[in-house]
Amino acid sequence: MTEPTGPTGPTGPIGPAEPAQPAQPAERPAPAPAPRPSLALPRLLEAVLGVGSDLELRATLQRIVDNAAGLTDARYAALGVLAPGDHGLAEFCTTGLPDAERARIEHPPDGRRGLLGVLVREPAPLRLTDLTADPRSCGMPSGHPRMHSFLGVPVRVEDEVYGNLYLTEKRGGPFTAEDEQVARLLATQAGIAIGNARLYETARRRERWIEGAAAVTTALLTGEAAADALMTVAERARVLAGAAAGVILQPTDEGGMEIVTASAPDGRGGLVGTTIAPGSSVLEQLLGGEPVFVEDSATDPRMTTPVRHRFGPSMLLPLQAAGRLIGTLALPRRRGDPPYTPAEKLLATQFASQAALALVLADAQQRRERLAVFEDRDRIARDLHDLVVQRLFATGMMLESTLRRAAAEEQDAGVHATLGRAVDELRSTVQEVRTAIFALQQPPADAPTSFRGRVLRETAGAAPVLGAQPSVHFTGPVDTRVTDTVAGHLLTALRGALTTMSRRPGTTRVAVTVDATATLPDGRPGVRLTVSDNGTPDGDARAKDTMTWVSPL
């Protein structure tokens, strides 16, 4: 077969061959022009270098999307981050959509269906001239702008599909094979940049959790009360985890668990006092010292608390140290918030273990300090009893003997009266020292339950207002003879008397006497409360410096 005749010539990559020219005199051929570099290459290099210039993950994602749209002349671009497990997309970073258009979209794509779902299930490049004509497309959400040309490529981080890069509406026509190559190259570089940003973010998050655990340990070991210590743990954990609330639960006598403290910026209404009933599978795990992770508290059948509908992803972490279960730290997020990542779960679990150890150490430290106080008080009480009281008692006996000899020898009446006052003062001093010994034997942080202890607490509380510590004398077995009803009436009268005397000018001494051996006018046994002072009545001639109440036993 012969080829058609006619002018022939070479063909090139940029167009058809030129027709043959008539023969000319031989000339030196002109040099061929050098190939012009692609105008997109500098921009591509700049984009590749720019993608890894930021270590903040959110900023890195946005830079990837912006560069991808600019390199391919796409009007819209997005990067969808896959959620853990088979849950579609957890995050959607976009460019090209003004805020007004973004606000009109009722429900952003979730990546579970349509073309986005195809890329999630089959992570491979996908290029379409018209996405609306593809049978796998399921349409656009309400308020979404119209789109036709489409290019999607997966973004891998260390052989793991991190998400997908989506490009739509190329200006001037459909996406080309060159656009696909550019997108794949950018996705590869993006995977490296995202990996570095994730490592940086993980390091920063770990640093924050470590600093938080150290701050909690320092705060607990400075001597906070038990309730304040639990609130410190709950509040710090809530901030670190980005949770909607930080909750501490403790076991109940019935075998369940109850929320004893909560930290929530939106209010703690309905949280404190909420219980987990015995028999719950979650409760069995928590009491066994196992952490529980919940994807959605509102729908998980294991969650039985009445406040579960307010929260979404949750972590319930046992506070356990040295074989002792202190309680549970719960960190629920709001509904719709992203679930906890494996790194966050690990860091929170380590924080709970550290916090539990700090709580145990703080409790042991407080017990040691309280024991030291008790031992010191016992020593003081022993010294007062063995040394001071005995010497005072011996001195009183010597004075009484001297007083009797003075009376027998008919000494001067003044000397006799002086000795009598000295004996009375010694008796009073012995009584006050015994009262002090009893007060030293009371636990410093506990409210007294006996009538004697409650009287001492009332007088000690009135001392700053009176300007002097009232002296208190007890006669008879007041703790065994005075009933709770009578004690309540007498304490009310005591408060009123101390308040009245605090208003009197010149008061420097207040004496309180409780006599459980008193007798009523009708002969029945009773208790007498007497309160006296040396102040000046405030313009009321009827005011007395001594107030007395007598109640039957």
More confident residue, 151 or 364: 151
- The string of pLDDT tens digits covering residues 33-73 is 444 344 455 666 666 656 655 667 788 888 888 888 888 88
Task: Pick the closest to residue 132 from 149, 119, 154, 112 (CA basis).
Answer: 149
DSSP assignment of 171-211 equals TTSS--HHHHHHHHHHHHHHHHHHHHHHHHHHHHHHHHHHH
Report, in this order, helix, strand and coil percent for the chain, each rounded to 5: 45, 20, 35
DSSP assignment of 434-482 equals HHHHHHHTS-SSSPP-SHHHHHHHHHHHHHHHHTSPPEEEEES-HHHHS
Would you tell me how many other CB atoms lie within 10 Å of the CB of residue 9?
A: 11
More confident residue, 198 or 514: 514
Residue 528 pLDDT greater than 60, yes or no:
yes
- Lowest mean pLDDT of 99-108, 171-180, 266-275, 289-298, name the range: 99-108
CATH tag for 224-357 (out of 3.30.450.40, 3.40.47.10, 3.30.750.24, 3.30.300.30): 3.30.450.40
Burial (CB < 10 A; 0-12, 13-18, 19+), residue 67, is buried
- The string of pLDDT tens digits covering residues 417-454 is 777 777 776 776 666 676 666 666 555 545 556 788 88
Burial (CB < 10 A; 0-12, 13-18, 19+), residue 506, is exposed
Alpha-carbon distances, residue 186 vs 80, 127, 479 (angstroms): 15, 16, 85
Domains 40-203 and 224-357 share a fold: yes
Burial (CB < 10 A; 0-12, 13-18, 19+), residue 5, is exposed
Range 40-203 has CATH code 3.30.70.20: no
- The string of pLDDT tens digits covering residues 171-194 is 888 888 988 888 888 888 888 888
Percent of the chain with pLDDT over 70: 74
Alpha-carbon distances, residue 550 vs 60, 94, 268, 413 (angstroms): 83, 84, 49, 35
CATH tag for 449-553 (out of 3.50.50.60, 3.40.50.300, 3.60.20.10, 3.30.565.10): 3.30.565.10
Residue 489 pLDDT greater than 50, yes or no:
yes
More confident residue, 539 or 75: 75
Residue 495 pLDDT greater than 80, yes or no:
yes
- The string of pLDDT tens digits covering residues 352-405 is 988 888 888 877 777 777 777 677 667 776 766 666 667 777 777 777 777 777
- The string of pLDDT tens digits covering residues 453-475 is 888 888 887 887 777 788 888 88
Residue 18 pLDDT greater than 80, yes or no:
no
Residue 541 pLDDT greater than 50, yes or no:
no
β-bridge pairing 292-294 and 311-321: antiparallel
pLDDT (0 to 100) of residue 329 = 92
- The domain limits of the chain are 40-203, 224-357, 449-553
